[in-house]
Amino acid sequence: MFTWTFVGIEVAAAVGLIFLVLLHSGRGGGISDLMGGSMGAVAAGSTVVERNLDRITIAVALVFTFATLTLDLRLQ
């Protein structure tokens, strides 16, 4: 039961990371412009939306990392 819980957490974190990385704006703006970060290239990365998106992405990446390490130690 414990292992399947962490497998579910890892799958959810992986899908979340894919979605969050696609939301980040690159040089051309990206999908995050649709969510309100449409000030253009002048303020790229400095808006509140971008900073919060960065924080959420880091948090989900940490969850993914710890779930991966837990599964690795559990399945050895």
Report pLDDT digits (tens) over 16-58. Answer: 999 999 988 776 555 656 666 555 555 555 688 888 999 999 9
Residues whose CB is less than 8 angstroms from the CB of residue 9 and which lie 6 or more positions away in sequence, other chains included: 63, 67
Do residues 30 and 39 make contact, with C-beta atoms less than 8 angstroms apart?
Answer: no
Residues whose CB is less than 8 angstroms from the CB of residue 25 and which lie 6 or more positions away in sequence, other chains included: 31, 32, 33, 37, 44, 45, 50
Tokens 């449409």 found at: 38
| Predicted local distance difference test score (pLDDT) of residue 8 | 96
Q: Which two tokens stand for residue 15?
A: 């899908």
pTM: 0.73
The pLDDT confidence band at residue 14, using thresholds 50, 70 and 90, is very high
pLDDT of 69 above 80: yes
